[in-house]
Structure 1
Amino acid sequence: MQRPHRVVVLVLDGALPLDVGIPAEVFHPETGFGYEVSACGVTAGTVPSHGGFGYAVPRGLDALADADTIVVPGYAPAGRQIPAQVREALRGAASRGTRIASICYGAFALAEAGLLDGLRATTHWDAAVELAQRHPRITVEPNVLFVDEGSVLTSAGAAAGLDLCLHIVRRDLGVSAANEIARGLVTAPYRTGGQAQYLPKTNTEVRGQSLAATREWAMMRLDQPLTIAGLAAHARMSPRTFLRRFAEETGSTPLEWILRARVDTARELLESTRLPVDRIAEQVGLGTGSNLRLHFRRLLDVTPTEYRATFAGPS
């Protein structure tokens, strides 16, 4: 009888509870897919977690020697230096060919161990700049859900760890197994690694209302040419005054604001209709499907088709 695939979750001080729980659920033996999951710490005992919880871990770092896959959850504060013995244990596991994955800020542990040098990696968007600055040999991808570099994988924050763990199941056992586990967890079975990890509306927060009527007027005419002169005339201002006031209220130029409004409207149409991409591009004033794809990739780091596949309801 083939032995289970051993997944060991390395729980470090300040571990984020959701990050610890995700691999524990995805790889739980009760899924019936041949995984065995356990937790360890630097030493056996109770590991304090972020938020006042604590984890009772039965083993120390010696547990990593038995692992087929190691998952390092995020911990707070982000980027806190990890003990030297953890770095050595992770390097030793990597040298044995063990697959190692991180969730959220756990990427900092992999980076400290030198496991990400020369590779692409990601982490929670709010720590991506720090990771890149502290470890310049890593190509940090701040806008993706996860990065698969073969034996080393990293994911963005919180729920992106679920996307990563399901991706690992797909790699190991195929789509059907991942889908069945996802159904049990009541979650979407697949979001691509390239899906942008932080998807609010792309328009900036408005800090004033004196131009609200003009912005609303523009929103009703996104399918038409919109110019600075036309917007300024509607606002009854000179173009120069209009540009200054618009920047004060929105933090962007009018044309950039309009572009983002067009992309956001396209997102709504992708979610709520089955219109072809070319038709959506026309309706939002971006002309062609290729132009819409260009701006989607620039602003969201995802294609319209990938976005629709993730967020659209059933057809």
Structure 2
Amino acid sequence: MLQLGVIGTNWITQQFIEAAQQTHTFQLREVYSRTQEHAQNLINQVNGTDTLITTDLTKFFASPEFEVVYIASPNSLHFQYICQAIAANKQVIVEKPMVSTRAEFLQIQELLQNHPGIYVLEAARHIHEPEFATLKQQVQQLDRIDGATITYRKYSSRYDLVLTGQEPNIFSPKFSGGALYDLGVYLLYDAVCLFGQPLSAQYLPQMIATGVDGQGTIVLHYDHFDVTMLVGKISNSILPSEIYSGKKTLSFDDGGTVRKIWNNYNDWQFTGTDHNPMLAETEVFAQIIQQKDQTQFNQLWQIADQVNQLLTQIRLAAGIKFAADRSEA
């Protein structure tokens, strides 16, 4: 197993560690947190043994206890942690979005060119799942694509804080928050993986009091069709997603975690299993790192590159500004 260090102690870190334990791919060795208490709580939740706690970031990256770091900090902090990890010759798995801006992405790309054998892997977990592979196979069997509507709207409990006048990280421009840079990343990965890079794109956001988007509509323009994507963190949607091909419609239940797929033309339907959605990505990432699989890494990096381009382009065109943008001015 690969030895793992983590940054971030919230539920998503716990889910990743539990997936790694199930797949026997990574062993938790060290936790960085600003507080000893939060780190210990995480270790207790995942039944960690002989796991170190570090509150000093410099000491954390200098530690010989782990070779791979999983980063699940607020979005705006990803870039600096990735840079420190690469400098320390650590392999990197980082929660989406990988970084906040286009310039940050290109700087990471340059760092990787100067550190051969180091990988930075964006944890777009859903595209690695077998259910998504089944969806992709069904799309490829369609005679043509006439369009699609993909939905991922899920109410965030943190929005309750916004309604009381607070600014939680996930809804803060200081931390590169908002619906597009959270759930919207899943939808853009869906589109790029299923249909390729669009010719053009736009985002119509519904802004909230903190200065970021609470929800909105993404429209991707392809050569002969459009893809409309509904994203949000201030409302819930129970709409299925649909891909159109003449009289045929291919449907699936969730733009972020595909579990059911069905169609209207031959009574075919598919139901996946209820499991930790990070299982597949832990296996894929471990394989890339252990086998030094540059080909598979390059494929994932190309998709991440396209998603980052789209994210930055449509965000800035929609007038959504982050603190990270000012730091580059």
| Superposition TM-score tier, normalisation by shorter sequence | 0.3 to 0.5
Greater helix proportion: 1
* TM-score, reference length from structure 2: 0.32
- If you compute each CA radius of gyration, which structure gives the higher value, 1 or 2? 1
Say which structure is richer in strand: 2
TM-score of the superposition, structure 1-length normalised? Answer: 0.33
